[in-house]
Every structure is written in structure tokens, then in C-alpha cells.
Amino acid sequence: MKIILRLLCSVQGLFLLGQQREPIHSDSISTYFGEIQNATQKGFKVWNKDLYGSILLVDPKTRQIYSNEQNADNSLKLQNKIYIGQLPDSMNIANTSVQWSGKNWAMIMLPLPKNHDERVNLLAHELFHKAQPSLGFPQSNKESNHLDQKDGRIYLRLELEALKKAINSGSENERKMHLTNAFIFRKYRNTLFPESATIENQLELNEGIAEYTGFIISGRNKEQAKKHFISSIDTFFSNPTYVRSFAYHTVPAYGYLLSLKNNLWNQEISANTNIADFFIKKFDINIPVSLKAAAERSSNHYNGIQIFKEEQARENKIKKQITEYQSKLIEQPHLEIRFEKMNVSFDPRNILPIADKGTVYPNIRVTDNWGILEVENGALMSPDWSRMSISIPTKIEEQKAEGDGWVLLLKDAFTIKKDEKTNNYRIIKK
């Protein structure tokens, strides 16, 4: 089985949802291509590589493509110095790198941010993903499910609050104090959840490094950088879940502070680096033996009382949601869909892990050999990503089925069948 993950939104884009966006005009697209080409050339030394390359800007409403290059079958048409065409229905739209029509592309959803720095940041982030195999960083997006649990969220929030103060610090001593506390909160969190350090590290070496690259190539000055990090972290706190998006804030913030001393530190790391320990060493941080005592002693300096209160309230609410999803997608009859050659896109901000049962994706689009599934009201992905459960069909008409918040378009060779013993449904070949 081949699994390809496509995040519905890169988190760089997520934090701009409330900001004004540029309308889509084909005559401005070439300007965007010129901006990112110029920025990547200036940022050549970041990786000793010009990251500029094949880009697909896609309108998610119309599936229209705007590209800086022709595709292999010449189906894109040249208009006003850019190439325009239509994305096939079989392809999911996402901010990601994607193989299509003979090339590896950086795909970004339109409209792009109105702000120049945010726009360049986003494009450079996705261009890094396009280039990252050649830079020695395999893609890995495993969920840090412990960051959906109360203590995981508490000590991540405390870490980021300490990072905010480190970024705003006026002296080296003050900055180092806040950095020390940030790493104390992280290390204590990792003691609470076995293997969490390894899982977090995987996403940080993927999305964290990509976002740091985007930030550096955007060319913000110090004051702009401070405002960017404070604003993005504060916005991040309002996300329903942190399991797939925390790395967009940890590595870029630590990396920015380290870049003030060594602006090419990223060239010292590899896919085998433990990036948290790397930063601790480079910042010359001493971690105390008694992490629990140090974490508890420092928490009140970083809004700890309010964070504890908010996370307790959230935990009570989440328990109710989990009970409802378990009933709907596990205990009651449901449609179980097995994957063969799956491609999926989803919103990483609101997923909900359910212990050893898997993860609920409230919004997800799946394409496979059997057809196209679009879900807007919850689907349970198995832990091994081999199958998905959705609510039972309420309407089946030839090659189209519908249920509570989902639509399934089946290819002619497939149909839906009910198992009379379990009352569950499944997709089978005719």
C-alpha cells in the first residue's frame, strides 16, 4: 500500500486565516513567482542551494493551476508569462510537495497572503519540502499524540511562553534564563511521555526546518521577526490541537535566536540530529537534575495558573467529544474503507487522537483506487493508516454514496456492501 500525505494547509498559511488576502488575478501571479525567485537567490547560502523550482499555485474553488513551468505533457497553456491549466480531480489540493506530470512540484493553495514576508515565507517553506530529499531530510509527519493530552499541552504552552520572552529579551543573561526554562519545560514533558522526544524530533526535522527556512528566506529584520514569532505563537495557542503543528513554532524560534550567533547553524544538522539537544548544546544550557521541581517552580512566570485552568477545562470537553466519536465510528455500525493506493489531504489543526483506536480527522479528502471520499464531519483513521471508518451511508445511488457529513464517489468497478453479521458496510469490487 502506498500512502501519500497532503496537509490541507501548511501551518504558515493557517496563521493568516484572519488576515486580508489578495484576490486571485493571473496578472499578479508572475509577480509572486518573481518575488520568490529573487528571495531564494538571495538566500542561496542558507543551504548552498537555490530552492527555486517548479511551483503550482492552485485555486481550491476552481482547481485552476497557475505555474512557473510547463508540465511534461504540455497541457498547461502559456498566458502572460505563466502557465495555466486545470488540476485533475484525482489529485488532492494542499500546501505540499507533489509528483505530477513528470515533475516534482511545490503546490500552494491560493489566494496567497497579502503580506509580502508571509507570502515569501509560505512559498519558500513548500520549496524546501520539494528540495528536502536532496538535502538529506526525509519527510516525516507522525502525530505527537501526547500533545493532545492535558500535561503535554500544558508543558508545550509553557515552553512557547518562555520562548516568547526569550525573543523579547533585552540582554543575553535574560534570554538565556528564558531559554533554560523553555528547555526545562520540554525535557520535563518528555519524561512524562515515553518516546515523545523521538516523535517530536521527527516532525521538527521536517516541518520545523522547512518553516525555519521559509522564515530566513523571507528576510525579516529583527523587529519584524519579533512581531512575527509573538503573533504566530499566540495564534497557534488557539488551534484545537497541537499534534501536527507545534514544530512550526519551536524550531523557527530557537533557530532564529541561534542565527543571531551563527546564521548557518542549520548546515550542521542532519536527519540523525536530536535538534532539541543540538540547541541545548549550542546555547550552553544546563538542565537541572530535578526537572519536575524546576518546571513547577518556573511555571508561574509564564502564565502557568491560567494555562493549567484552561487545559483542565479543555480536557473535560475533549472527553465528551471522544465518547461521541467512539460511539459513532467504532461501537455503532459504520462504513469501513480499506486503502490500496491512498492519497489524503486534511486540516492538521483539528485532528483528535483516540488512544489506541486511531485519530479522528474532522475534515479530510481521500483518493484511492476505489474513488474519491470527502468528509466534513469526522473520520477515524486507524493507527497504521491501513483503513478509515466513517458513519453508515444514508443514501446510495449507483456510484455515489452519502452519509453524515461525507460524500463518496466510487469508480465503476466498485460498490458498497453491507455485512449482515456486523451491520457494518465496506467497499468491494463488483
DSSP state letters, 370-397:
TEEEEESS-EEE-TTSSEEEEEPPSEEE
CB-count exposure of residue 233 (10 Å: 0-12, 13-18, 19+): buried
Calculate the average pLDDT of the chain: 93
Say if residues 244 and 141 touch (Cβ distance below 8 Å): yes
The reported pLDDT for the residue numbered 6 is 44
Judge whether residue 264 has pLDDT over 50: yes
Give the contacts of 161 (CB within 8 A, at least 6 positions apart).
302, 303, 307
What type of residue sits at position 245? S
What's the average model confidence in pLDDT over 282-298? 97
Indicate whether 270 pLDDT > 80. yes
Strand order in the sheet with 395-397: 2-7, 341-346, 364-368, 371-375, 406-410, 400-403, 395-397
Burial class, 405, CB count within 10 angstroms (exposed 0-12 / middle 13-18 / buried 19+): middle
What's the confidence (pLDDT) of residue 281?
Answer: 98
Judged by average pLDDT, the poorest of 12-26, 118-132, 331-345 is 12-26
Q: What is the pLDDT of residue 25?
A: 67
One-character DSSP codes across 246-278 = THHHHHHHHHHHHHTT-TTGGGG--TT--HHHH
Q: Could you tell me which residues are beta bridge partners of residue 99?
A: 104
Check residue 101 and give left, alpha or beta (phi > 0: left; psi -120 to 50: alpha). Answer: left
Q: Rounded to a whole number, what is the largest CA-CA distance in the chain?
A: 70
Per the listing, cell 486507524 goes with: 382
Is 71 a residue whose pLDDT tops 60? yes
The answer, yes or no, to whether residue 12 has pLDDT greater than 50, is no
Q: Where are the beta strands (DSSP E) in 248-357?
A: 334-338, 341-346, 352-354
Mean pLDDT of 366-387: 96
User: Which of 240, 207, 57 lies closest to 132 in space, CA to CA?
Assistant: 207
Task: Identify the pLDDT of residue 371.
Answer: 97
Residue 198's pLDDT band (boundaries 50, 70, 90)? very high
Single-letter code of the amino acid located at 416: I
pLDDT for residue 141:
76
For residue 289, pLDDT over 80 is answered with yes
Q: Is 309 exposed, middle or buried (0-12, 13-18, 19+ CB in 10 A)?
A: exposed
Mean pLDDT across 57-79:
95
Q: What is the pLDDT of residue 160?
A: 98
Stated pTM of the model: 0.89
- What does the alpha-carbon distance between residue 28 and residue 24 come to, in Å, rounded to a whole number? 8
Supply the pLDDT for residue 68: 97
Average pLDDT over residues 14-19: 37
In this prediction, residue 349 has a pLDDT band, given cuts at 50, 70 and 90, of confident
389-418 pLDDT, tens digit each: 999 999 999 999 999 999 999 999 999 999
Q: Residue 418 is which amino acid?
A: K
Percent of the chain with pLDDT over 70: 94
Q: Does the pLDDT of residue 9 top 60, yes or no?
A: no
Predicted pLDDT of residue 24: 62
